[in-house]
Amino acid sequence: MILESFNDAAKRSIYSLQEFFALAGKAIGFIFVKPFYAGDLFQQMDAIGVGSLGIVLLTGFFTGMVLALQSAVQLQTFGATDYIGSLIAGSMIRELGPVLAGLMVAGRVGSGIAAQLGSMRVTEQIDALNTLGTDPIKKLVTPRVLASLIMLPVLTVINDFVGILGGSIIAKFYLGKPASLYWRTVFEQMLSGGFTLHYIPNDFIQGLTKPFVFGGIISLVACYHGLKTTGGTEGVGNATTRTVVSASILILVVDYFLTQIILAVFQP
Amino acid sequence: MSDDEDRRGKDERRHPSEKDETAMPRRAHDSGRVRAAIRTELEEVAESTAELQARTGVGHGEKVITLENISLAFEDPILENVSFYAKSGDTVVVVGESGTGKSTILKLLLRLLIPDKGRVLIDGEDITGLTFDEALKVRQKMGMVFQGAALFDSMTVYENVAYPLREHTVLSEDAIEARVREKLQFVDLEPDRVMDQMPSELSGGMKKRVGIARGLANNPEIMLYDEPTSGLDPLTTATITYLILKLQRELGVTSIVVSHDIRSAFRMGSKIALLANRRIGFFGTPEEMTGSDDPYIREFLGGF
């Protein structure tokens, strides 16, 4: 009996995974196939990018400040407070910027996508698209995935910048370090990790690959749960919750493995 | 005071603990009278529909839609050996109790589902083996009106009706606007008043009418309706029934209507397909249905 239910659960999980990757494959494949829904793409870029700007600015700025405060205490012990800019830049660009932007967008945009597509599913709007001769994946999923792939790296760069800016305020007013010293250490840090193709700092490769992958994870997980919604308004709520939980966990897990891979490939 | 009012007064005065020995037989007697009255009404409607359709020559053309020995099961069987057809200009109403798989038939016709056995023919072409892209093309021959209208709630009424035109035609924006206005007028809506409204601002009946206009936008040969009159007041139900009849008579569109509203079914249907126990229990004209001696059909008609 237990073995049977375990077997059923395993089959369901494998089937769900298969469906998820089929959706991902189609959605990404449709990026290169006509018709292109440019209007939908720009609308989604606006909703995902511009719409998330406020929370990304706030979280980035305060994370940078609190990181600087905590680090200052540690660095003071070793008399190394001159390197605060280096520490903030390294942490924000490689790790905190992408992960924080990813988690914020998963909460704000992922839940929104799941709720919107879930509502469309339960009110038969997805079936209506099908009957009107439109592939719902092409019309609804592809623009959301592409917009997330483009906008999450942009949001991450903004997040990194305001985080480093927040750190500079603490460096100036808490540690009394001149701004020129802080920004010089920031740029030294960016260039210290080596280069790819002679010009691209490896920190940037790491800092931009992650949000690109996270953007794909958030949008695909949200679209998958949204399109699979059943059971009316309660189902929409469940799809939203499942999206935020699974996208957040996936971001953290994938972040670890991505870091391992990037370090192995791009470590000078 | 009439006899009925007198009797009712006595019933109300009786203490609840007093057993009413006559209650059950009277209810059964009343129920029998109601059923007989309903059957008479349906017979009258069936006769007038038959007369009208004989005059307009509905359902004498080629078979446009054919379901041949369709069987479908998910975890449990849904449909078993279901067969019926619709000739050009026919309006076939699929009736049956709730949960008997009526809406599944529409999904099979749209090839949103593929049957386990049997064939679905549209204009003589078997659509069961088509690829997804080929199925999208076949769907362009059809207009579908959903139970809840399924209007895109992020678009205005104009954008909803224009959607299939923008998606599948190369018409200019002026031509699209002219077509949208024509279709909205056909469903008795004032284009200037409703075109810029969002679906959330419309009443249930108006949403259904916009849904019909959107279904009609591409001038389809086939219209499919899923419970077009469910959840509507009697007046709006009559309006929607009238619109479906108007489509049949003025445009000669072949229609499949899924409904549990037998009165409307008899008014609009040139043929009725009764789905019972996963099979087609009856397929014929409303007149033939009211004349049937089959106990299930008589029970089903009396139940309304």
Q: In what order do the strands lie in the sheet with B142-145?
A: B142-145, B222-226, B254-258, B91-96, B271-276, B279-284
Residues of B in contact with A124 (CB under 8 A): 146-148, 150
Closest B-chain CA to A135? B136
Residues of A in contact with B225 (CB under 8 A): none
What is the tens place of the pLDDT at every residue in A144-183?
999 999 999 999 999 999 999 999 999 999 888 898 999 9
B163 touches chain A (CB under 8 A): yes
Q: With the C-alpha atoms ordered A87, A90, A93, A99, is the resulting torsion angle positive or negative? A: negative
Residue with structure tokens 């019309």?
A139
Q: Which ranges of chain B would DSSP assign to H, the alpha helix? A: 3-13, 23-56, 102-109, 132-139, 157-168, 173-186, 191-194, 204-216, 234-246, 262-268, 286-290, 295-302
A165: its two tokens: 């800016």
Q: In whole angstroms, what is the distance from residue B39 CA to residue B302 CA? A: 6
Residues of A in contact with B132 (CB under 8 A): 135
Q: In whole angstroms, what is the distance from residue A6 CA to residue B9 CA? A: 65
What is the tens place of the pLDDT at every residue in B121-171?
999 899 998 887 788 888 888 999 998 889 999 999 999 999 999 988 889
Given a contact cutoff of 8 angstroms between Cβ atoms, the answer to whether A218 and A108 are in contact is no
Tell me the CA distances in angstroms from A41 to A38, A102, A142, A147, B160, one per residue in order.
5, 20, 8, 6, 19
Contact A124 B150 (CB under 8 A): yes
User: Nearest CA to A215 among A93, A57, A49?
Assistant: A49
Closest B-chain CA to A40? B154
Closest residue to B168, CB basis, from A119, A123, A133: A133
B173 touches chain A (CB under 8 A): no
Predicted confidence band at A22 (pLDDT cuts at 50, 70, 90)? very high
What is the tens place of the pLDDT at every residue in B93-134?
999 877 778 889 999 999 988 999 999 999 989 999 888 778
Tell me the CA distances in angstroms from B64 to A130, B133, B174, one per residue in order.
21, 21, 33
What is the tens place of the pLDDT at every residue in A183-213?
999 998 888 877 777 788 888 888 999 999 9
Closest residue to A125, CB basis, from B112, B150, B224: B150
Largest CA distance in chain A: 70
Helix, coil or strand: residue A45: helix
User: Nearest CA to A241 among A101, A115, A105, A104?
Assistant: A115
Contact A128 B140 (CB under 8 A): no
Q: In whole angstroms, what is the distance from residue B148 CA to residue A124 CA? A: 8
Q: In whole angstroms, what is the distance from residue B137 CA to residue B142 CA? A: 10
Mutate to test the interface with B, among A132, A139, A227 (most CBs of B within 10 A): A132
Residues of B in contact with A132 (CB under 8 A): 139, 163-164, 167, 214
Torsion-angle region of B35 (φ positive above 0: left; ψ -120 to 50: alpha; else: beta) = alpha
Residues of A in contact with B110 (CB under 8 A): 130-131
Contact B167 A133 (CB under 8 A): yes
Given a contact cutoff of 8 angstroms between Cβ atoms, the answer to whether A188 and A201 are in contact is no
pLDDT of B76 above 90: no
Query: How confident is the prediction for chain A on average, in pLDDT?
Result: 91
Closest residue to B136, CB basis, from A119, A124, A135: A135
Q: CA of B249, closest CA in chain A: separation in Å? A: 24
Contact A128 B168 (CB under 8 A): no
DSSP state of A193: T
User: Which residue would you say has higher pLDDT here, A33 or A146?
Assistant: A146
Tell me the CA distances in angstroms from A242 to A218, A224, A247, B250, one per residue in order.
12, 10, 8, 50
CB pairs under 8 A between A and B: 46
Given a contact cutoff of 8 angstroms between Cβ atoms, the answer to whether B225 and B145 are in contact is yes
Q: What percent of chain A has pLDDT over 90?
A: 69
